[in-house]
Structure 1
Amino acid sequence: MNLDEFVASHEPRETVETFELESSKLLDVDLDGSVMCKAGSMIGYTGDIAFERKSASSGLTGMLKRKVTGEGGVMMQASGAGHLYLADQGKEVQILSLDADDEISVNGNDVLAFEDTVGWEIKMLNSIAGASSGGLFNVYLSGPGHIAITTHGEPLVVPTPVRTDPNATVAWSANVSPSANHDLNVKSFLGRSSGETFQLEFATPDGFVLLQPYEEANPDEGGDGGHGESGGLNVNDFL
């Protein structure tokens, strides 16, 4: 294709919702007010938008915790009017619509953005504190409003009860909570520690766990995958 055709075929689409996908890995936020997003995820914006970093000085609910190390990460608040374009290391973006009575727990490293109507709280997973899990701190998000989370590749939603590899576990429904499970027989067989030997156990029925086809042992590691475009899912579509 010539230059004009290339430009025309890659221009932003007209948006209807506040959160929409320009591609499976790029979120377009039609901003008129404020939104919370992961620090470092902005790849571009139009209009008049200001950014304010939310770090440890704002309290526990103003920061995300890095996996395993417990070091304080940072979120940012984007305020103004325009289009904000967000991405995170080429990971797939999943948009969820939370109703007023919906709540979901998401690994802190996998939260990309959420509307200012969404309530959020950082909670430590006390039952597995000190273990090398997929994230000792999770973000509990409650509706109403849209949220965007990221996954390496196409996610799988498994009903509970289930046991999962911590490094492949992205999120779960708020009515379930994980505990640590150590399978010493598997460790003896493999001769090393891994997600097969240390697991998250979700024993409560009637919930769900969101898994990715990738073991994200470190928040600085990247990945790839494929996911079709979507204008947003209701959290109940996972069930």
Structure 2
Amino acid sequence: MRSPFFNNMDQGQVPGHFVLQNPKMLRVHLNGDVIARQGAMVAFQGQMDFEYQGAGGVGKFIKKMITQEGAPLMRATGQGLLFLAHNAEDIHLFYLENESLTVNGANILAYDSHLATDIKRVQGAGMMAGGLFNTTLTGSGWVALHTHGTPVLLDAGRAPTFADAQSAVAWSTSLQTGVNRTIKAAALIGRGSGEAVQLSFQGQGFVLVQASEGPTVPTHTH
């Protein structure tokens, strides 16, 4: 798997059509179709059509409805330049080479339409552990993710690695995962929910962690 931190110079070393227009905007050289987050199109040049992208089969539809994993998607079809962004968040690119990547579906900006997708429960995350689900992308092609702030790429092979469940954006499917629940320190390392939940990672691979735990719920004033 190629590094997710591509820039416009080193992207020429791999095939494909995903280019960072800038750190917060993706440019897709479209000649066919691509899957993208609904509402992510900010501009396009050429001839394109956009349509709702379903989960892909009854089984996947049921999984998505039950787990609420991922964001609504669309399929862009045509030829030309397609520009995608999401709330001016940072964008990071992966190039998969006949391999798999586990991602938080809410962080998907776009991916090549020929990549296979599935929704899987995080290992060790039973319903009593929050029932954590993520999206797996498999095959050869591009994946673009958006993150809240500049993320850190952790090498899980160097030491046991832990990340907040809402902050972990993507990781190698080769890693062994689990759930670590902390009660005593919840007020210190969580967001005041009374219990802190971290994902644990072991093995050879990486974990991409964003600089946020996701949107906060405003305090009620009435």
TM-score tier, shorter chain, comes to: 0.7 to 0.9
Query: By how many angstroms is 1:171 displaced?
Result: 0.6
Aligned residue for 2:74? 76
Matched residue type, 1:157: L
Higher deviation after alignment, 53-62 or 139-148: 53-62
Matched, 1:148 2:147: no
Q: Any idea what SS the aligned residue of 2:118 has?
A: strand
Q: 2:103 aligns with which of 103, 106, 122?
A: 106
Distance 1:188 1:49, change over 3 A: closer
- Corresponding residue for 2:206? 208
Number of residue equivalences: 202
Aligned to 1:32: 31
Superposed CA deviations along residues 205-226 of structure 1, whole A, max 9, x for unmatched, are 21221111111156x99xxxxx
Letter in 2 for 1:116: S
Distance 1:158 1:192, change over 3 A: closer
Q: Which has the higher contact order (CA 8 A, sep 6+)?
A: 1
Distance 1:109 1:131 in 2: 22
Instruction: List per-residue Cα deviations over 1:1-20 (Å, max 9, x = no partner).
Output: xxxxxxxxxxxxxx975111
| Contact 2:45/2:81 (<8 A) preserved | yes
Report deviation, 1:118: 2.0
TM-score, normalised to structure 1's length? 0.71
Hey, what does 2:153 align to over in structure 1?
A: 157
Q: 1:195 to 1:208 in 2, by over 3 A?
A: farther
Provide the aligned C-alpha RMSD in A.
3.4
TM-score by length of 2: 0.76
Structure 2 CA distance for partners of 1:192 and 1:24, relative to 1, 3 Å: closer
CA distance in structure 2 between the aligned counterparts of 1:191 and 1:168, rounded to whole angstroms = 11
Match of 2:3 in 1: none
SS at match of 1:143: strand
Q: Which residue of 1 aligns with 2:133?
A: 137
CA distance in 2, matches of 1:26, 1:189: 35
Q: Deviations over 1:98-149 (max 9, x none)?
A: 112x21101000111111232222223363244686x933111123111111
In the superposition, relative to structure 1, how do residues 55 and 63 fare at CA in structure 2: closer, same or farther (>3 Å)?
farther
Q: Which has a greater percent of strand?
A: 2
Counterpart position of 2:49 = 50
Q: Which amino acid aligns with 1:92?
A: D
* Consecutive unaligned residues in structure 1, runs of 5 or more: 1-14, 222-239
Cα 1:150–1:60 change in 2 (3 A) is: farther
SS in 1 for 2:149: coil
Show the 5 A alignment for 1:81-92. 81-92=79-90
- Runs (5+) with no aligned partner, structure 2: 1-10
Give secondary structure in 2 for the equivalent of 1:148. strand
Q: Does 1:116 align with 2:113?
A: yes
- Other structure's SS at 2:185 match: helix
Q: 2:94 matched to 1:96?
A: yes
Q: In the alignment, is the contact (CA less than 8 A) between 1:110 and 1:151 conserved in 2?
A: yes
Aligned-residue identity in percent:
33
Question: What is the CA–CA distance in structure 2 between the aligned matches of 1:29 and 1:188, rounded to whole Å?
Answer: 43
1:194 CA displacement: 5.2
